[in-house]
Structure 1
Amino acid sequence: MDRLLFGDNQFFGVNHMSEEKARAQAVRFQDLDAIMDVLACACEQGISTFMCTTHDRIADVVERARQDPDRFSALTFYPGMPYAHKYANAVTEDGMIGAVRRFMPQEGTVNALLRGGASMARRDIEGVMTLLIDAEMKMFAGARTPVIFLQNVVVDLLLGLEFTEAFAVFARHVRERYGAEPGFITMNLPMLVPVLERAGMENPLVCANINKLGFRMSGGIRTYIEMLEAQRCRAIAMSVFASGAIPPREALEWVAQIPAIQSVVFGASSAAHIESTARIARDIWGLDRSVAAATVG
């Protein structure tokens, strides 16, 4: 897994500190060319792993990358599912049946409907979950997806409901059907890790907000540090810059002191920001740009 992963928040108008900046980015990145130019810049800096949601427009990104192998031959995707707004919008636009057809996996609408209907009739949660996973993965057909994440909107809901088996179902399906490693995004890493262990996952891959200010770290920074020092999980740190409150070098130097943090995911909307972050990471971790970011773990 690379040290630096590139995220997609900026492409879809997500900024945790400035609504004005978020709106400006949403307008700018309505143009697919603008998204692809930023991704190309990341690849040029050796940051070739794109950690993304399953937003509808990501399908266009995957297709464009497939059509332009000269620029994107190294690009790898880490999908994070589900993108909840997508389902709500689809039902509003197409109705329930139209939404079902839109998201059916490659095996075909009839087979998928039969599988889903039979699962609902048996109250078979595993069948329903695997159908939804396959629907989300449809847009990534033919792309490299070595890690597949369950988004925090679902992870933390399941955590609150104490539905431990659902985590095992997700992990088993992405391993067996896609040959991928399961990952889990959460707003509460210290609470999640013991639950994943009970679900049978040793040293799970978990993505969470981790930064020296404790910004958006539910449960407090001390509990995170204790969990990470015990090395009970492999962590991907997001919000390491605390939405701009921590200078990049200071933020990455702090992260580099914690061995359990294998990677950092960050978003950027300009070539200068990407180049600066990559340069700092190379300085801190001793990365060789010619070998992309760096393999760890």
Structure 2
Amino acid sequence: MSTDTVSAVHTMDRLLLGDNQFFGINHMSEERARAQAMRFQDTDSVVEVIEIALQEGLRTLMCTTHERIGDVCERVRDDASRFPGLRIYPCMPYAHKYANAVTEYGMLGALRSFVPDEGMLDAVVRGGRSVLRKEIEGLITLLIDAEMKMFHGLPTPVIFLQNVVVDLLLGLGFDEAFAVFDRHVRARYGAEPGFITMNLPLLLDRLDRIGIADPVVCANINALGFRMSGGMDAYERALAERSFRPVAMSVFASGAIAPRPALEWIHRHAEVESVVFGASSRSSIAGTVAIAKELWGTVTAPPS
């Protein structure tokens, strides 16, 4: 895609299928996480759940750049008729992939394994901090492109930066990296950039400061204040007063809130545009879809 392409506003669906359940991630129960990891050891089991979700009326998969998702993308490209209307929201990077590479190859070896332009990397290493400042935008964009390779040929209208990086950048005060991500995602992929965070109020302040208007931001938003860094009151004020497009995650607080009261609470916060949830069975997916349709009338959005 031409680097002159500018993304249009993409209307997100009300419900998005997440992928934590595929990779053994559960924030309340290690036992349940292990059981899920065992169940989804092969790509067939992951694909089966995605097909069920499509059959039940969902059409958006919000997923990490885990190697298994690369296998799923291959299946979708090879037999698109099995996945009608599927849209993917990549969330990058998959942090464990980089952590494992650092453990195996060391910091420089890991960077070389993910960044194809070794000349630029060598210049950064030789030149130190001044060269690093000059080349950092090129390095970030190369890493984005490396992460996006698995999705080639598939619709990816929103591309998210994972909270492990977003919150690290917040802590370092490296706000310009958000602007680099924003520009590259829009120009190279014609997509809307999204940001995942564990500290919604702080991120909104920083994005305002660098001029990113009305951003797509995914954060923990739920009735219990579960994992909502900064406190429930700060999140309530952000939803009511700030200009952004909220995507709520952890709405069920890892099973501590039943689906109906969880979604009813979200429904009372009309500012929330989308809900991402993980589910691994037809009954769970169908039940969540049914409640959402009662509350909002639909789980999908009209064409952008």
TM-score under structure 1 normalisation? 0.91
2:300 aligns to what?
A: 293
Task: Write the distance in 2 (CA, Å) between the matches of 1:257 and 1:117.
Answer: 53
Residue 118 of structure 2: aligned partner? 113
Q: Which of 277, 295, 298 lines up with 1:266 in the alignment?
A: 277
Offset of residue 131 of structure 1: 1.0
Displacement after TM superposition at 1:103 (Å): 3.6
Give the alignment partner of residue 255 of structure 2, picking from 225, 230, 244.
244
Partner of 1:207: 218
**Alpha-carbon distance in structure 1 between the residues aligned to 2:261 and 2:297:** 16
Taking the aligned partners of 1:181 and 1:97, their CA distance within structure 2 comes to: 31
Residue 60 to residue 220, structure 1, CA distance change in 2 (3 Å):
same
Q: 1:32/1:277 Cα in 2 relative to 1: closer, same or farther (>3 Å)? A: same
The amino acid across from 1:127 in the alignment is G
* 2:155 aligned counterpart, secondary structure: coil
Name the SS for the 1:293 alignment partner: coil
Q: Structure 2 matches for 1:210-229, cutoff 5 A? A: 210-229=221-240
Partner Cα distance (2:124, 2:58) in 1: 41
Confirm or deny: 8 A CA contact 1:119 1:128 kept in the other structure. no
Residue in structure 2 matching 1:55, options 62, 66, 76: 66
Do the aligned residues in 1 keep the contact of 2:54 with 2:84 (CA within 8 Å)? no
The SS at the match of 2:206 is: helix
**Structure 2 unaligned regions, length at least 5:** 1-11
Shift of the 159–61 alpha-carbon distance from structure 1 to 2, 3 Å rule, reads same
User: How has the CA–CA distance of structure 1 residues 37 and 165 changed in structure 2, closer, same or farther, with 3 Å as cutoff?
Assistant: same
Is the contact made by 1:78 and 1:147 (CA closer than 8 Å) also made in structure 2? yes
User: Partner of 1:81 in structure 2?
Assistant: 92
Q: How far has the Cα of 1:245 moved from its partner?
A: 1.2
Q: Deviations over 1:2-60 (max 9, x none)?
A: 00000000000000111001001001100211100000011111211110011111100
| CA pair 59-225 structure 1, distance change in 2 beyond 3 A | same
Structure 2 distance, partners of 1:137, 1:71, is 22
2:81 aligns with: 70
Structure 1 residue identity aligned to 2:118:
L
Structure 1 residue 226: Cα displacement: 0.4
Which residue type is aligned with residue 97 of structure 2?
A: K
For the aligned residues, what is the CA RMSD? 1.9
Instruction: Give the count of matched residue pairs.
Output: 287
Q: Amino acid of the residue matched to residue 245 of structure 1?
A: A
Tell which has more relative contact order, 1 or 2 (C-alpha 8 A, sep 6+). 2
The more displaced of 81-90 and 49-58 is 81-90
Counterparts of 1:116 and 1:170 in 2: how far apart (Å)?
Answer: 19
Q: Work out which of the residue numbers 265, 268, 275 in structure 2 matches 1:254.
A: 265
Alignment-derived partner of residue 11 in structure 1:
22
Conserved? CA contact 1:3–1:296, under 8 Å: no
**Counterpart code for 1:113:** E
- CA-to-aligned-CA distance 1:127-186 (integer Å, 9 cap, x gap): 111111111111111111111111001101111111111110110011111111110000
Secondary structure at the aligned position of 2:185 is classed as: helix
Indicate the SS of the match to 1:261: coil
CA offsets 1:191-238 (integer angstroms, 9 cap, x no match): 110100111111111000000110110111111010110142110000
Distance 2:120 2:153 in 1: 24
The answer as to 2:175 corresponding to 1:170 is: no
**Separation (CA, whole Å) in 2 of partners of 1:47 and 1:85:** 28
**2:8 is matched with which residue?**
none
Change (3 A) 1:63 1:37: same
Counterpart of 2:225 in 1: which secondary structure?
Answer: coil
Question: Shift of the alpha carbon at 1:293?
Answer: 1.9
| Structure 1 position 91, deviation (Å) | 4.6
Q: Percent identity?
A: 63
Determine the structure 2 residue equivalent to 1:147: 158
Distance in 1, Cα, partners of 2:103 & 2:149:
21
The answer to whether 1:29 aligns with 2:40 is: yes
2:291 to 253, 270, 280: 280
Shift of 1:99: 5.0
Secondary structure of the structure 1 residue equivalent to 2:273: strand
